[in-house]
Amino acid sequence: MEENINTEENVSLKAFFRLFRANALVVAVCIIAGIVGGLAYFFTAKQHYTITATMGITCKDDSGVNRMSTAYLNTIVDSCRQNCVLEEANRLYSPNGSSVKQILPSNLNVTYDEDRVSYYIHVSYEDESEELATEKLNALVEAVQTVGAELASEVITYSVTITPIGGAPQVANNSNRTVGLIAGIAAGIVLAVIIVFVLYMTDDKVKTKEQLEALTSAKLFAVLGSEAGADLAKTAESDGMRRLADHVMILTESGEKKTVLFTSAVAGERVSETVAALAVKLGEIGKRVLTIDLNFYEDDMHSFLGAENTMGLSEYVEGKATAEDIVSDPGYENVRAIFRGDRSTNPSSVLVSEKFRTLMRQAKDEYDIVLLDGSPVLASSDYLYVAPIADASVLCTAYGKTKRAYVAEAAGELTRSGAVTEGAVFTLYSAKIGRTVGYKGETFYAAYESRK
């Protein structure tokens, strides 16, 4: 995927057509609407008939020679300018003036031959029936004859001949029904393109591996499906969780880095259940794991592990419990957990206390891996206290739902606070969203492997 990983992404034809395909339903509705509109016009449009006719008027003297006096010519021109012929034709066609489909001046034109002994009247107009169109033409011919004869008798003694030029008048059906049908279909396609283009230009969510890695300056560790949390043991066995566990084990293999902070930019990105499932998976592998609930914003860790949040960090810092008292056994092999405890306790007072820091040092001595469930970076300031004491950080992002600007801001805040962001995780992967950027399978990895 060749994409510009910025908050203002350039237009990519490949990505645009993928979005076009992913929004096939919207495209289909637009095209069907266009077809329906075109068909409606096709079957309801009124018939229009176009009359095209040319009449020639020639003057001849007594000897039969074609002539046209300047006086007669000027008189004819003046009569056309004053619309005398049209007025007479419209009077003949509609004596009481009831017609709203009269012949207009713009429909009539006069030309002359090179010898200026003949002139031609050209007429073209539309009407709703062939019969009406023909009636208008007959009225026009009669008007030409009447006006021409009157003018001839006034200014010259030559005989006037009126003849149709080019045979019978042409009557053509010009309803444009087919054009209307094609225009309707084209309008539907254009509407679909506009909608998809707007969706493309306004899409500011993180959807690709390349985008997330560029925004966080960290390696993508894993992609977790949207079904996470339904069954913690099942989630722990998913392909994405196995990959995440592998990365965390490699990260902590040397023993220098044991404490890993998992956090997110905003709430709702399933950080707590990711940490819970990861702890179960690492425990199955044989690692001694301690999870510490530092997510004072959501506080869901205990529910995912199936335990009660009756005593935890708050009670420990306040001196109401010992370190041994607050360590819970959720029932998973090699997994222990410390929950946050009393909700009313100020998070800052817990995180800045020396007792908390002492607890963290003891945890690193007793366990292989310590997983910290942190609050969302942009929702609280807790990361300012937690990030500096963690050996590594992993930023979780909801696939196709979190804005790129939020991820970039959260990653920057972590870095400025002293965190070392080693990895990133996509949560809530959706195959439907994935198809918009080229992933074709129901799971991220199935589609990603198929593209190799």
Distance, in Å, from the CA atom of 310 to the CA atom of 323, rounded to the nearest integer, reads 14
Q: Give dist(CA 160, CA 176) in Å, integer.
A: 40
pLDDT at 6: 36
CA gap 216, 414 in Å, rounded:
10
Query: How far is residue 37 from each of residues 8, 184, 237, measured CA to CA in Å?
Result: 37, 6, 53
**Terminal Cα-to-Cα distance of the chain (whole angstroms):** 12
Q: Write the CA distances from 221 to 192, 196, 240, 301, 417, integer angstroms.
A: 37, 31, 9, 21, 22
| pLDDT number for residue 362 | 92
| Contact yes or no for 341/326 (Cβ under 8 A) | yes
Quote the CA–CA distance of 36 and 297 in Å, as a whole number. 52
pLDDT of residue 112: 61
> How much is the pTM?
0.64
pLDDT in tens, the chain (452 residues): 333 333 344 446 666 676 667 677 788 888 888 888 888 877 777 666 666 666 666 666 666 665 555 566 566 656 665 666 667 777 776 655 555 456 666 556 666 665 555 556 666 666 666 666 677 777 776 776 676 666 656 555 545 555 555 444 555 555 677 778 888 888 888 888 888 777 777 778 888 888 899 999 999 998 888 765 556 777 777 888 899 999 999 999 887 889 999 999 998 888 988 999 999 999 999 999 999 999 887 767 888 887 888 888 888 888 888 888 899 998 899 999 998 887 767 888 888 899 999 999 999 999 999 999 999 999 888 889 898 999 999 999 998 889 999 999 999 999 999 899 999 999 888 776 665 565 555 566 555 444 44
Report, in angstroms and rounded to the nearest whole number, the Rg of the chain calculated over CA atoms.
43
Distances, alpha carbon 212 to alpha carbons 242, 340, 434, 443, in Å? 20, 30, 14, 18
Instruction: Please state, in angstroms and rounded to a whole number, the distance separating the CA atoms of residues 360 and 32.
Output: 63
pLDDT at position 1 is: 30
**Residue 111 DSSP SS3:** strand
The domains found in the chain, sorted by start residue, are 13-45+176-201 (no CATH), 49-173 (3.30.70.1130), 206-450 (3.40.50.300)
Cβ neighbours for 348, distance < 8 A, ≥ 6 positions apart: 381, 382, 385
